[in-house]
Structure 1
Amino acid sequence: MRSPLDGATGERMALDAYYADFEKHFWNSADLGFWKLERQQSFKEPGYDSWEAFARGEWEESLRLLEAGRADMEEYHRKIDRHGFLARRVRVVEEPVSDYLQWELHALRVREQCGGTVHVIGADQVARFEDDGPLPEIYTLGSQVMYQAVYDEQDVLESTRKFVDPHLILHCQKFIESLYDAGEPLEGWFEQHVATLPPPPRQA
């Protein structure tokens, strides 16, 4: 099967323009909510203090920084609730879990505990949709807009692609929702697959 984008390419946006556009649309997502599909197994997130500590091999410090951000995350999700929508994510996981993903799943666990629900689905469960390559990193904001994250060769966010076709957005939202329904809640999955892993090594 083909990707849910089915060849659509959208409008390329530089990061500064994207951040402003995302902020404008995110808080008006009440009709369908926010749905995000995460597929890649490794990223670099320069500027994020917890990721920076993880990359330096300071595992306990990276977890402490995630906890330090909990109050802000809780307020963020209270604000989402006041705006009348839910923020839901699907995280595709290949096993064995990559070093980066081990860190990200800890971050997502904090997010889920603060109100942003996350479901995990195995890579084998999405393989049938990847005839033309890995699923795209896409996220829908209500019925009005969708973005695809674009990463450079170092796995750092470089730009995005913006889509406004309502039929495509609805199709992709339903696709992400179907994966969410087929996945497992992060909390239980985390306890079985992540909680007992040893600290990851310093990243090159």
Structure 2
Amino acid sequence: MPDLPSDSAGERLERPDYRAEFRQRLWALHDDEFWKFERRQSFIEPGVPSWEAFAAGDWQASLDLIADRRTELKDYFQRAAEQGLTMHRLRVVEPPLTPYLQWELHLLNVRAEHGERIRVVSPDLVRRHESEDSLVEVVVLGASTMYRIVYTDDGLGDGAVRFTDSSAVMRCRESIKALFDQGEDLRSYFAREVAHLPPPAIHL
């Protein structure tokens, strides 16, 4: 469970401001680390073609659209590698898989193929530190910037809270790293637990 400060110690950003600032700060990093911690089991992602196909119940189209992103993702992670950035993601996976998570794990598997270091962990490792209303999603950029991503109740992105206190950022990064060290590589998990599953039943 990331060691987060209170929101009062950060600055609230609306979604467009967060997205623009995140891109700017990410690509300003060199020879550093990116970390993402994902906890919620379902989101909604309007505007993402593969998610929209999934939400419409067209599973094969959603997988085809994920496959169509291979060149884009290859270029993205190549750019990161050229800047000396190592990209990490820790995904909490709670069985039985939600339909959303089954879809997302297909996407994450492709991201892992192209260079993102992704591991999965059981919610048992974090559950004792959280309550129903404290599930957090965190992005850490280097040692200087951290965001708690804000979502609506139904899982739509709604901006973020930015933190820039270096000690708080490093505490959070280290807590994510400690969990990451206990995780399983996404690709082995995907091959064993996800690849063979039939299309999920969609209830949106």
TM-score, length of structure 2 as denominator length: 0.94
C-alpha distance in structure 2 between counterparts of 1:69 and 1:195, whole Å:
18
1:162-204 C-alpha deviation (Å, 9 max, x unpaired) = 0001000000011111111110000111111111211012332
Report what 1:110 is aligned to: 110
Deviation of 1:32 (Å): 3.8
- CA separation of 1:22 and 1:74: change in aligned 2, threshold 3 A: same
1:4-58 C-alpha deviation (Å, 9 max, x unpaired) = 1143442110111112211111023335410000000000000000000000110
Checking the alignment, whether the CA contact within 8 Å between 1:11 and 1:163 is kept in structure 2 is yes
- CA separation of 1:175 and 1:32: change in aligned 2, threshold 3 A: farther
C-alpha distance in structure 2 between counterparts of 1:191 and 1:177, whole Å:
24
Structure 1 residue ranges, 4+ long, deviating more than 6 angstroms after superposition: none
TM-score, length of structure 1 as denominator length: 0.94
1:123-171 C-alpha deviation (Å, 9 max, x unpaired) = 1122232258544100100011111111112210011110001000000
Report what 1:7 is aligned to: 6
Report what 1:120 is aligned to: 120
Report what 2:87 is aligned to: 87
C-alpha distance in structure 2 between counterparts of 1:27 and 1:75, whole Å:
14
Instruction: Judge which range, 5-14 or 80-89, deviates more.
Output: 5-14
C-alpha distance in structure 2 between counterparts of 1:102 and 1:188, whole Å:
15
Determine if the alignment matches structure 1 residue 46 to structure 2 residue 46.
yes
Instruction: Provide the identity percentage.
Output: 39
- In structure 1, the gaps of 5 or more residues are none
Checking the alignment, whether the CA contact within 8 Å between 1:55 and 1:202 is kept in structure 2 is yes
Q: Which amino acid aligns with 1:101?
A: L
- In structure 2, the gaps of 5 or more residues are none
CA RMSD in angstroms comes to 1.6
- CA separation of 1:167 and 1:8: change in aligned 2, threshold 3 A: farther
Report what 2:170 is aligned to: 170
Aligned residues: 203
Alignment of 1:20-169 (within 5 A): 20-30=20-30, 32-130=32-130, 133-169=133-169
